Amino acid sequence: MAMKFKFWGVRGSIPTPGPRTVKYGGNTTCIEVNNASNDLLILDAGTGIFALAQTLSGQSPIVAHIVITHTHWDHIQGLPFFLPLLSPQNQIHLYGGLDPVTQLGIERALTVQLQYSYFPIIEAQVKARVHYHTLRPGEPIQIGSTTITPIVLNHPVLNFGYRLEDSDGSSLFFTGDYETPSNPYSADDPDYASNQQFIDAKLFEVHATMQGVDALIVDSSYTDAEYAKKAGWGHNTYGGALELARQVHAKKLFLTHHEPTRDDRELETIFQNVLTKAGAVDFEVYLAREGIEHILR
């Protein structure tokens, strides 16, 4: 069985379901991955995880591995609605980084939300066996047939990108939220050279982790014109995603984290303009779309 993945949420920042987003989807980030050993892997727990949970209804027991890139709301707000949490027969493994400010692990993603102030069920009422796993940059973990390697990516909070590589050699990389780092100093500033050296070293590490993946799933929220006003917000551009795919020799590129103000027609117009401007590319390019499954061969 080849590794395959399915988008359950492709929207950034805030869910926007409705007639304007019915084709590509309005739920926030969630990707289901099934590997060669038939494990259930879930990348991020935005509102899309609720629809994913409906497909698991009637299955028992369930062992789910939920891997979180970062704890901004649009990537974790679906966690309390992941219904397998309510059955004592199920096991839920939650993976993520150690917050450098609070020094808390990924357990805070549930603990913060499951309070009566915010939700009608508290953490003590969760029936499933929940296991928390704190990940460290560059240290791979093994889930069944899949090796997952986390790497820190540029965003206003600790954000892991993940490379998933299966035993059959198939691979994907998901950035979560990512902004290509840039040097804030002018070229004549005495701090420019040392800062650029740090950026170049980091980009080398990032590109090495992404190198040659079958599928590269990238935050591509903005056009170049929009980015001029939103630099530092932690998100990439369409053009930046294409350039990244070129640099790491990805076989397929998936553009995701769609800007919440865009409707389906606007997404497609921007996409076509970006492809026209880019010219010939030696990889396949897709707009991420809810409900679509992709098999890595």
Say whether pLDDT at 101 is over 90.
no
pLDDT band at 103 (very low <50, low <70, confident <90, very high): confident
In terms of residues, how long is the chain? 297
Q: What's the pLDDT score for residue 147?
A: 98
> Each residue of 261-277: pLDDT tens digit?
999 999 999 999 999 98
Q: What's the pLDDT score for residue 57?
A: 86
> Each residue of 185-215: pLDDT tens digit?
999 998 999 999 999 999 999 999 999 999 9
Q: What's the pLDDT score for residue 104?
A: 87
pLDDT band at 242 (very low <50, low <70, confident <90, very high): very high
Q: What's the pLDDT score for residue 58?
A: 85
Say whether pLDDT at 168 is over 80.
yes
pLDDT band at 153 (very low <50, low <70, confident <90, very high): very high
Q: What's the pLDDT score for residue 280?
A: 84
Using left for φ > 0, alpha for ψ between -120 and 50, and beta otherwise, residue 257 falls in: left
Q: Is the distance from CB of 68 to CB of 94 less than 8 angstroms?
A: yes
Say whether pLDDT at 172 is over 90.
yes
**Amino acid letter for position 59:** Q
Q: What pTM was computed for the model?
A: 0.96
pLDDT band at 91 (very low <50, low <70, confident <90, very high): very high
Q: What percent of the chain has pLDDT over 70?
A: 100
Token pair in block for residue 12: 């950034």
- Mean pLDDT of the region 204-233: 96
Say whether pLDDT at 142 is over 90.
yes
Who has greater pLDDT, 202 or 101?
202
Who has greater pLDDT, 186 or 257?
257
- Mean pLDDT of the region 103-112: 91
> Each residue of 29-59: pLDDT tens digit?
999 999 999 999 999 999 999 999 999 988 8
CA distance 41 to 33: 5
- Mean pLDDT of the region 81-107: 94
3-state secondary structure 13-80: CCCCCCHHHCCCCCCECEEEEECCCCCEEEECCCCHHHHHHHCCCCCCCCEEEEECCCCCHHHHCCHH
Say whether pLDDT at 131 is over 80.
yes
Superfamily of domain 4-292: Ribonuclease Z/Hydroxyacylglutathione hydrolase-like (3.60.15.10)
